[in-house]
Amino acid sequence: MRRQRNVKIVATLGPASSDYEMIRALFEAGADVFRLNMSHGSHEEIRSRHAIIRQIEEDTGRPIGILADLQGPKLRVGRFARGEEELEEGQRFRLDLEDAPGDSRRVQLPHPEIFAALEPGATLLVNDGKIRLRVEECGPEHAECIVVVGGTISDRKGVNVPDVVLPLAALSEKDRADLEFVCELGVDWLALSFVQRPEDVIEAKALARGRAAVMAKIEKPAAVRAFSDILAVADGIMIARGDLGVELPVQNVPPIQKRLVRATRAAAKPVIVATQMLESMIESPVPTRAEVSDVATAIYEGADAVMLSAESAAGAYPVEAVRTMHNVALEVESDPTYREVIEASRRAQRESVADAIVSAAREIAETTDVKAICCFTESGTTAALVARERPRVPIIAMTSRRAVARRLTLTWAIYCVMSEELGRFKQAVVRAVRAATGEGFAEPTDQIVVTAGVPFNQPGTTNIVRVAPCDERLIYRAEPE
């Protein structure tokens, strides 16, 4: 199941993709990682989908990543006596803690934390920004607002507060229960919603205790402002453009996306571009031209992965959506301009021995007739460093840890091969050559680059780079013990 592309595809599972046949079809169409959305579905449904993915992994012999996306705190208005009301521009409207049905003048907002953080002049967005309110006067239990943009407001619509950092934890009680459940189940990644500060990520990582890597979803202006600190503690980044486009002017999102992708790449951490990538394919078998350009842009920027949400979870054409994304990636990555853009955005990193080793591996691969870079990785860090270089040749990651192989399915271009623990460098070279030739990356007459660390089986020891022939007889003749 070798993919002829570098960018990875994340497909969300849901009602339209919940049985073995459909999930297997999504994998064969190009999905590398499956997202389990904890906002929808019971624990039993999540458990069933997880088991199916692991069965497909066993049946195909390829590691498959599983990302559990935590819901995060949901801020919503209460209910209305008539179910909905029309708000007109310029009218006054009150939000308060009173537990009574709303009308055209007021409605409950059962979140005292919001009132504690509000100040006059702050903006409140309701129903994905379709209604915009400006706070005129506020207290610990209410906010008197002016309707800036009117429309229909109805029961339990979501509320966004873009102007302030809310004194809310990113993990609700539901999230804590879900986190423990999926970590025990054995997911590979946790996507953390409602991140506003690095402390949110630190808390999630403490609860995960290394059982899953933690990905910070960037969907709030506060997270954009604190991005450097969040990136420093997160294991990966998801640019969740849906809420980001609600809380910020939509024209701000593309340059933010570009900056965040580049910064995350430089940190050698995986970055996913997500939300509304092929939205029209929920109902249509073909996407719009603009959607195709959106996916292509993320690939040109060097994102590690692009993600499908409702398109694969609840749409009428889930397999077609994955296949479309796969085909767009193939076309973009075959474009000579793609290489120019990727290499122009590469940042030189020479802060450690490992940085120097992987940089040398890329330069050797690009200046000689080498078919692949094969790296031995205990924690996944070396493979991530090689991927940061965005080399022109394939990357084979050799690891003895299945959890590491699964997490690396989210990283650009990485093709994982399981390997037993090794004790000598000659053994490593032989295993690398067998992987490269056996998986179709090289022929016996070719060469590969091998990176490894001595002593073996210890994270953070990458200190060797070697050009190796793919003929095992030459290895035994030439390689030292």
Domains and CATH numbers, the chain: 8-72+169-337 (3.20.20.60), 84-160 (2.40.33.10), 353-478 (3.40.1380.20)
- The set of catalytic residues is 35, 76, 217, 275
Amino acid of residue 372 = A
Q: Which amino acid is located at 224 in the chain?
A: V
Q: Are 7 and 306 in contact (CB under 8 A)?
A: yes
- Beta strand segments in 14-109, E: 33-37, 65-69, 84-87, 92-96, 106-108
The pLDDT of residue 424:
82
Give dist(CA 277, CA 363) in Å, integer.
34
Residue 476: per-residue pLDDT: 67
Determine contact, residues 104/175, Cβ cutoff 8 Å: no
Long-range contacts of 282-285 (CB under 8 A, 24+ apart): 282/310, 282/311, 282/314, 282/315, 282/316, 282/317, 283/315, 283/316, 284/317, 285/316, 285/317, 285/320
Residues 6+ apart with CB under 8 A from 428: 376, 398, 422, 450, 452, 456
Asked if 397 and 377 count as a contact pair (C-beta separation under 8 A), the reply is yes
pLDDT of residue 478: 57
List strands edge to edge, sheet with 131-139: 106-108, 92-96, 142-149, 131-139, 123-126, 159-160
Give the DSSP per-residue string, 165-198. Answer: --S--S--HHHHHHHHHHHHHT-SEEEEPS--SH
Q: Quick check: 93 and 159 in contact, CB under 8 A?
A: no
What span, in angstroms and rounded, lies between the C-alpha atoms of 48 and 414?
28
Cβ contact 318:11 at 8 Å = yes
On whether the CB atoms of residues 141 and 115 are closer than 8 A, the answer is yes
Rounded to the nearest 5 degrees, what angle is found at the Cα of 101, between the Cα atoms of 97 and 107?
A: 50
Structure-block tokens of residue 288 = 């719009």
Q: What are the pLDDT tens digits along the chain (481 aa)? A: 789 999 999 999 999 999 999 999 999 999 999 999 999 989 999 999 999 999 999 999 999 999 999 999 989 999 999 999 999 999 999 999 999 999 999 999 999 999 999 999 999 999 989 999 999 999 999 999 999 999 999 999 999 999 888 998 999 999 999 999 999 999 999 999 999 999 999 999 999 999 999 999 999 999 999 999 999 999 999 999 988 999 999 999 999 999 999 999 999 999 999 999 999 999 999 999 999 999 999 999 999 999 999 999 999 999 999 999 999 999 999 999 999 999 998 877 677 888 999 999 999 999 999 999 999 998 999 999 999 999 999 999 999 999 999 999 999 999 999 998 887 888 889 999 999 999 999 999 999 999 988 777 777 778 889 999 998 877 766 555 4
Q: Residue type at 70?
A: L
Residue 31 pLDDT:
98
With beta carbons less than 8 A apart as the criterion, state whether 95 and 161 touch: no
| Residue whose entry in the numeric block shows the structure tokens 């000598």 | 424
Helices 253-266 and 289-300, packing angle to 10 deg: 30
